[in-house]
Each structure stands twice: as structure tokens, then as C-alpha cells.
Amino acid sequence: MGQRHRRILISNDDGINSPGLFALAEAMAGIGHVTVVAPERERSAVGRSITLHKPLRAQRVDVDVPGEAVEAYVSNGTPSDCVVLGCLDLVGETPDIVIGGVNRGGNFGEDILYSGTVSVAMEGVIMGLPAFAISVASLPMGTSLPPDPDYALAARFARALAERIFEHGLPPDSFLNVNVPALPGHRINGVAITRFGRMRYRERLDKRRDPRGGTYYWLAGEPELDGAPEGTDIAAVMAGTISITPAHMNLTNPIPSAQLNALVPEASAYHVAGS
């Protein structure tokens, strides 16, 4: 496939004004035609939600990316909506790859079930396309990123990874989740293929009163690591290594049949008399 014929669809959950999105678009424009379809505002932690009860809109916008290989649209939809709009209409033909990012903040372990950035890759897989999500992760783990992190390294890595995917492909129903440490290039300790760690949060519900006496809440939480066992995405980033975690859309757990059968209620427990 010639570079000029490659169609690359990019979205995110940080919104159309995210510098990570522009860095990714600029890097990918060197290897194909890029279509950006991104939410009009931040949509972090929306997961794979889609819009069913209001019209979806997408408007062409100008982006500050050199060259003519990037066109961009802003949408009132979620990240998953943006992928559907791009694949079925805005790109003009079926994309060759779908990329989510570059996200501000890492996506580890259970984070991927909430992440709008990862949902971009998931929606790409649902559409039958190769896909990956890429994020810049803070160090030490759990701390905030600096106000203006350098997304260029992650964007360059995304471009190199996309080239490999164009060459070798990905297995069906699979995508990659990439986390790049927020470090200068000379401090990156290579690349590791990892498994998902456990990223849980100590939930904190902040209950408050508004000026009219009504109750409202802020949901928050502190990350609670499990010690970051060797081989996990968390351990890799903590060691200054770029983590690539393969994921599959089939969430079936191969629990032994005998154990599962023991959980099935007897028919007499749920049959209605006379049925």
C-alpha cells in the first residue's frame, strides 16, 4: 500500500484542542492522509458510550498542522461516535487504521474499561480495522503530568508502530494499548510487550452543599497499585520503558466447566409452578 493511499483516522477523549492530538496528526501525516474526528470538549472516562437520543453533528475545522494531508472535524459526540462518523462518512472511504491519542495521562489495567482514548481503538476493532491507543504516562506513577508535556516522542513512536502494523497487520478482534513514560527520549529504556496490571482506585466521594442547600458530589480517587509485578504495563512504565499491551475484544473468562456448572441454579429454583 503506497503512503499516499493510506487513510488514517484519529480521535481522542481530550477534545479537539488537545496538543497530543495535533502532535499525533502531524506525525501521522508523513505516512498517509489523516482525518481527525474529535469531541468538541473533554470526554475522559466515558468508555465506549455512544449517542442514541440526540442528533450527532460534525463540523469541518482548521487545524494548525503543516501540510495538506490532514483534515479535521469537531463533533458533539463521544470518542466512539467520532470513530463511527469517520469510518462511515467523513473519511470518504474505509480507513486503513484507527488511532486514539495521544492521551494526556496513562491508561493501565482497568483504566481501559473507562478510557475514551482506548474506546477509539475498540470502536476501530468493532468496525473491522487495525487499531491502537497511545498515552503519555506520568512518573512517579499516580502523579500529575506537567502542564505542557512533550507529546512529540509518543507521536513519533505511534508513527513507527503504525508502519509496522501496515506491514504485518494485527490479529482479528485485537488492538494494542501503548503507554509512553513522560521522559525525554534519552531516558527511555526501550520497549516491552506487557500484560495489564491492576489499576484500582481508593474511591473518595466528596459530598457538598450548593448555595441553595442542594446536595452535589465530586467523584475522585487515588490510584492503588498492586506492587506492579514484573511484566505488567505499570511496571514497564515505572522502569522508564514504553509498554505495548495486546488486548482482545472477547472478554470471556475460561473458568473451568465444573466450577461454572456448580453455579447454575437447579431448575426448581426458577421455574414457575404450572409452566
What digits encode the pLDDT tens for the residues 127-163?
999 999 999 998 766 667 777 788 999 999 999 999 9
- CA distances from residue 250 to 13, 122, 125, 247 in whole angstroms, order as listed: 23, 11, 11, 9
* pLDDT recorded at residue 253: 86
What digits encode the pLDDT tens for the residues 256-265?
989 988 988 8
Superfamily designation of domain 3-197+228-269: Survival protein SurE-like phosphatase/nucleotidase (3.40.1210.10)
How much is the mean pLDDT over the chain? 88
What are the residue ranges spanned by the domains of the chain? 3-197+228-269
Say yes or no to pLDDT of 222 above 90.
no
pLDDT band for 229, please (50, 70, 90 cuts).
confident
Say what angle helices 19-28 and 152-168 make with each other, to 10 degrees: 40
* pLDDT recorded at residue 66: 67
* pLDDT recorded at residue 215: 94
String of b and e for 139-174 (b: at least 16 CB within 10 Å)? bebeeeeeeebebbbbbbbbbebbeebbeeebeeeb
What digits encode the pLDDT tens for the residues 44-66?
877 788 888 899 999 999 877 76
Q: Can you tell me the mean pLDDT for 27-36?
A: 94
Say yes or no to pLDDT of 275 above 60.
no
The pTM (predicted TM-score) of the whole model is 0.90
